[in-house]
Amino acid sequence: MSFEFIPEDKVLIASVSIPVRFSEVDSMGIVWHGNYLQYLEIAREQFGRQHNLGYLDIYAMGYQVPLIDLNIQYKWKLQYGDTVIVNATYKYVEGAKIVFDYKMTLVDSERVIATATTTQVFLDMEGNLMLIKPTFYEEWQRKNGFIS
């Protein structure tokens, strides 16, 4: 029997720098709120590449991981010409889900633009919700020091 724990000093983060494109802003030159979701997705993909938990890796193991929850707090406007740094931090939870916390900051001033949290669950290829962690995911958590 394994003992699960949340190590206080264990953190996995991926960062990505994203320049705001003209097509992402409204007539006032401010990023349309829906584009923030794309920025979070880019950060999750970067996390997957850096930490071997990419969508294609998960799919190859026979699972899909749809987003089921998103919570975002807008703190400051993001405009055309800005570059935003998006940090995606893996948040350990005991259940069969993947949770990320995000912090978006302006590259030049480190002003916080937004914070967010997303939750993804595991579905098998027939669309059935997995209530127990897939073995490969539990092994990934163990390898990365989140469980023993």
Higher per-residue pLDDT: 62 or 3: 62
Assigned domain for 64 exists: yes
Assigned domain for 115 exists: yes
Q: What is the pLDDT of residue 9?
A: 66
Assigned domain for 8 exists: no
78, amino acid identity: L
Would the pLDDT of 14 be above 70?
A: yes
Q: What is the pLDDT of residue 38?
A: 97
Predicted confidence (pLDDT) per residue in 40-96, tens digit: 999 999 999 999 999 999 999 999 999 999 999 999 999 999 999 999 999 999 999
What 3-state class would DSSP assign to 73? strand
Would the pLDDT of 139 be above 80?
A: yes
Assigned domain for 1 exists: no
Assigned domain for 6 exists: no
**Please, what is the average pLDDT of the chain?**
94
Assigned domain for 56 exists: yes
The enclosing domain of 89 has a CATH number of 3.10.129.10
Assigned domain for 114 exists: yes
Q: Tell if the pTM clears 0.85, that is, is over it.
A: yes
- Residue 104 CA to residue 115 CA, distance in Å, equals 6
Assigned domain for 72 exists: yes
Q: What is the pLDDT of residue 6?
A: 53
Nearest CA to 117 out of 69, 54, 51 is that of: 69
- Residue 45 CA to residue 22 CA, distance in Å, equals 23
Helix runs in the chain, H state only: 35-51, 55-60, 135-143
Higher per-residue pLDDT: 7 or 31: 31
Residue 103: give the domain boundaries. Answer: 13-143
Residue 65 class from Cβ within 10 Å (0-12 exposed, 13-18 middle, 19+ buried)? buried
Would the pLDDT of 121 be above 60?
A: yes
| Confidence class for position 110, pLDDT limits 50, 70, 90 | confident
What is the domain count for the chain?
1
Q: What is the pLDDT of residue 141?
A: 97
